[in-house]
Structure 1
Amino acid sequence: MISSTNEYEYSYSDSKSEHHHSYLIKPLIKMMICESVDILEHQKKLRILDIGCGNGSLSNLIAQQGYEVVGIEESESGVKLANENFPSCRFIEGSIYNLPNTELGEKFDIVIAAEVIEHLVYPKELLRNAKECLKPNGRLIITTPYHGYIKNLMLAVSGQMDKHFTTLWDGGHIKFFSVATMNALLESEGYTDIKFNFTGRFPYLWKSMLCSSTLVK
């Protein structure tokens, strides 16, 4: 998770995987493989940028699949833990709103932002900065908690709305996306070939959705 200012920086205490990694990693890797078949025909190893990488644990899981992974994170404690525990990846301290492009080096085949965009006051900035990091026809993969009419209705009927949409979680979720709103956001920034997948729990009550898109340059 990344905040918009350093004043309220999220602090990490260990390098353990986040709870959502358990249900995200398999469909995330599957989506990456499906979207990178053509690229792999021309190169041996894909270059991945993990935006808002936290303590680096997800970056490490991705790197274990044979990818070259660079993670960027605003939290100083997150970057410190990541560099100490996951030497197979490279981690850089920086903000989503102002990516240190000179440090990132060459462009990336895939940019990932896992469970990040829902924390951002200005989510379009993630999409705009990802453009600068992608190779021509590269893929942006975003994961975020799923919201749809049936799920929201169930939350209301079960009395879970206040708990789910809590305002008491400092640094918590402030944007709640459905397929329609995520699709509209991506299209507004010029992304095309938008594909969705879902994971966790039951159909239409999914925990998260995964969205892959591309930007033709």
Structure 2
Amino acid sequence: MTNQWDAKLYDRNHAFVSELATDLIDLLAPKTGDRILDLGCGTGYLADKIASQGVEVVGIDYAATMIEQARSNYPHLHFAVVDARELQYKEEFDAVFSNAVLHWITEPEKVILGIHQALKTGGRFVAEFGGKDNVKAITTALYQALKNVRYPIDKKLNPWYFPSIAEYGSLLEKHGLQLVFATLFDRPTRLEDGEKGLANWLKMFANSFLNAFSPEQQVSIISDIENQLHPVLYQNDTWFADYRRIRIVAVKE
């Protein structure tokens, strides 16, 4: 089951996803005249930031709701609904940029093959996404809450792919992308909306687990998760997500 995306809720309560990655653009180092693919552009915030540096940006996302919102937010930019596993571009881009997207795709090799094909020789791939043990506390509590309602745990409900540097680097190099920079780091992330922060996060990012339940059951499951995590992830009237991010830069050989 895939995650369902509410673009307006995303912009309203989860803008931190894009805002925390603005320094990823520094790693991208756009050059005037570059043509850059923003893979998984969401509602377009970072695509606009990149375009403001004098480059041409094409923003793509699998979710039509996100692309509709991106076109509304930034009508001067080009956006399209595209599945990252089925990229058709051929040596068109000086760089491929991706933030907080690749952990949603459990078939990474298909994506890497498409990125390699889309890049010009010497082109760069710059990305940040969830790395090994990302949201480990939240996931553990989520599975426990499902167990508590005697719901059969189906690993297929888990939409996430959180690789180590070694795992992902090997895939890149297998497909002709030389890894030149990689880091894995903890980034506890403040969630908006006070006491509702974790519930909002679960409804946005973990709804593939929750959609099998009635609204009343979802409230009960979310409450269980909150009770488990309150001593660990709730501080000063604010929820924090236990994010762990991987950043990479690779170059097409």
Answer yes or no: same fold by TM over 0.5: yes
Q: What is the one-letter code of the residue matched to 2:140?
A: D
Aligned pair 1:185/2:171, yes or no? yes
The answer to whether the aligner puts 1:64 opposite 2:42 as a matched pair is no
Amino acid at match of 2:168: M
Aligned equivalent of 1:116: 101
Q: Which structure is higher in RCO with an 8 Å CA cutoff and minimum separation 6? A: 2
Mapped partners of 1:82, 1:123: distance in 2: 25
Query: How far apart, in 1, do the equivalents of 2:129 and 2:19 lie?
Result: 14
Shift of 1:67: 2.7
Give the structure 2 partner of residue 82 of structure 1: 70
Distance 2:186 2:26 in 1: 12
* Separation in structure 1 between the aligned mates of residue 52 and residue 122 of structure 2, nearest angstrom: 24
* Structure 1 unaligned regions, length at least 5: none
**Where is the helix percentage greater, Structure 1 or Structure 2?**
2
1:140 positional shift: 0.9
Superposition CA RMSD, Å: 3.3
| SS class of match (1:97) | helix
TM-score, normalising length from structure 2? 0.63
For the structure 1 residues 70 and 163, does the alpha-carbon distance in structure 2 shift closer, same or farther, using more than 3 Å as the test?
farther
Q: Deviation at 1:215?
A: 1.3
**1:23–1:199 Cα contact (<8 Å) kept:** no
Q: Residue 26 of structure 2 aligns with which residue?
A: 30
Query: Structure 1 residue 52 and structure 2 residue 40: aligned?
Result: yes
Task: Give the secondary-structure state (helix, strand or coil) at the position aligned to 1:176.
Answer: coil
> Max radius of gyration: which structure?
2
SS in 1 for 2:47: helix
Q: Is 2:140 the counterpart of 1:162? A: yes
Asked if structure 1 preserves the Cα contact closer than 8 Å seen for 2:88 and 2:114, the reply is: no
**2: distance between equivalents of 1:199 and 1:110?**
26
CA distance in 2, matches of 1:194, 1:110: 14
| TM-aligned CA distance change 1:107 to 1:118, over 3 Å | same
Does the 8 A contact of 2:131 with 2:246 survive in 1? yes
For the structure 1 residues 72 and 161, does the alpha-carbon distance in structure 2 shift closer, same or farther, using more than 3 Å as the test? closer
| Alpha-carbon offset, residue 201 of structure 1 | 4.6
Give me the TM-score of the superposition, normalised by structure 1. Answer: 0.72
Write out per-residue CA displacement over residues 18-42 of structure 1, whole angstroms, 9 at most, x where no aligned residue. Answer: 322232211x112112xx6xxx4xx
Contact persistence 1:119–1:172 (CA under 8 A): no
Letter matched to residue 58 of structure 1: L
Q: Is structure 2 residue 82 aligned with structure 1 residue 127?
A: no
Conserved? CA contact 1:191–1:214, under 8 Å: yes
Give per-residue Cα distances to partners, 1:85-141, cap 9 Å, x unaligned: 112321011111222538xxx711110121222111211111100112111100011
- CA distance in 2: counterparts of 1:56 and 1:81, whole angstroms: 8
User: How many pairs align?
Assistant: 189
Q: Percent identity?
A: 23
Q: For structure 2, which runs of at least 5 residues remain unmatched after alignment?
A: 145-152, 190-241
